[in-house]
Amino acid sequence: MKKREWEKEKKKAEFRYDPAREKWVIISSARRGRPKITQEDMRICPFCPGNESEIPEPVLIEGDIRVIPNRFPALVNVKIKKNVRKKHFTEFTAPGYHEVVIETLRHDIKPHEIEEEHLSRVIKVYMERYKSISRDRRIKYVIIFKNYGKEAGASISHPHSQIIALPFIPPQIQKEVRNAKKLGCLTCISMRKSKSERRLVFEDEKFAVFCPPVPAFPFETWIVPKEHSGDFLSISASPQKIHSFSSAMIKTFKAMHRYFGDIHFNFMIMSFPAEEKFHWRAEIIPRKNHAIAGFEIATGIMINPFFPDETASEIRRRLR
């Protein structure tokens, strides 16, 4: 197939590690061209039917759900080159995967309006791509996430989520694993205490939805399987567990919509199957009443104006 003009563009990406602050940064030239599509731009939305010439060929089609390589990737699927150690930092070419899951053909449907059955199908597509990407031996960590709305970092309003695969384990995950080995599974402990500490939003037989005891963001909410496992794919063989997970997501989205209105949010699935001490979870972070400003950037310490028992109570009151 003949390459389209935008497919000929050179894409360069690097990981850079700052040893002074123990931080990784991805520098990716392809991210400069990200579009700014609004709700009114349906005729030119690249994810809408009829505009297929504006997106790469799908790697997976499941009914009306499509998975495509990100046209503006943070990572490029290339061979790992040797680390280059410079005086103050280390750099190497950033291999990996960056895919977009176009969740539906409908441009204007909101997260709280999606049918539970359809969301279960989206979750199964996540699992299929997670499993496929994880077979690549270069890949050490895969994250699935959704940025809904401009305040959450979305550049296109058409319902979609993303998958990024890294050639190393992120420091945040390493810290969680290290502390779990020393202290036990803190996610299990937090879940067990959520009821007595009034942080529980709701639960069923398979999942608990609660606000964590140390929320970095206002109304930060976790969806956690009651059965301890580090692997998101652990529920893949159970239609009941997939249904329970999608039901928990929809209930939480609807409750937050009743409280906030059309709230922008980040949704992440945190999974690490290589470590049995890790406990996988989904996190929902509404982007309201919070700004990462000078203090937070300078110190890494977040200021949250809401206590978790207060936010859990507000969400709980809006369940139906």
Q: Write the CATH number for 32.
A: 3.30.428.10
Same domain? 257 vs 226: yes
pLDDT (average), residues 173-186: 93
Same domain? 14 vs 147: yes
> Considering 112, 144, 168, which residue would you say is the last residue of a domain?
168
Residue 204 lies in a domain: yes
Whole-number mean pLDDT of the chain?
89
Query: Domain total for the chain?
Result: 2
| 10 confidence band (pLDDT: 50, 70, 90) | low
Same domain? 119 vs 143: yes
Structure tokens at 301: 């310490």
Q: Which residues contact 127 (CB under 8 A, 6 or more apart)?
A: 232, 233, 236
The CA-CA-CA angle for residues 103, 241, 128, to 5°, reads 45
Same domain? 237 vs 297: yes
How would DSSP label each residue in 282-302? Answer: EEEEE-SS----HHHHHH---
Does 291 or 5 have the greater pLDDT score? 291
pLDDT (average), residues 18-29: 83
Structure tokens at 307: 């206590």
Distance of alpha carbon 76 from alpha carbon 67, whole angstroms: 16
Same domain? 264 vs 227: yes
pLDDT tens per residue across span 137-158: 889 999 999 999 988 989 899 9
Residue 287 lies in a domain: yes
Residue 178 lies in a domain: no
Residue 177 lies in a domain: no
Cite the beta strand spans of the chain per DSSP E: 13-18, 23-28, 60-62, 65-69, 84-85, 90-93, 97-102, 141-148, 160-166, 200-203, 207-210, 221-225, 265-270, 281-286
Same domain? 86 vs 200: no
> Considering 144, 168, 192, which residue would you say is the last residue of a domain?
168
Same domain? 214 vs 274: yes
Same domain? 134 vs 192: no
Same domain? 10 vs 157: yes
Distance of alpha carbon 96 from alpha carbon 73, whole angstroms: 10
Please give, one letter per residue, the 3-state secondary structure of 49-84.
Answer: CCCHHHCCCCCEEECCEEEEECCCCCCECCCCCCCE
> Considering 168, 200, 222, which residue would you say is the last residue of a domain?
168
pTM: 0.91
pLDDT tens per residue across span 250-300: 999 999 999 999 999 999 999 998 888 999 999 999 998 777 889 999 998
The boundaries of the domain holding residue 133 are: 5-168
Residue 173 lies in a domain: no
pLDDT (average), residues 175-187: 94
pLDDT tens per residue across span 227-252: 999 999 999 999 999 999 999 999 99
Residue 117 lies in a domain: yes
Same domain? 156 vs 190: no
pLDDT tens per residue across span 62-93: 999 999 999 988 887 655 555 556 656 666 66
Residue 283 lies in a domain: yes
Residue 179 lies in a domain: no
Same domain? 154 vs 224: no
Same domain? 15 vs 142: yes
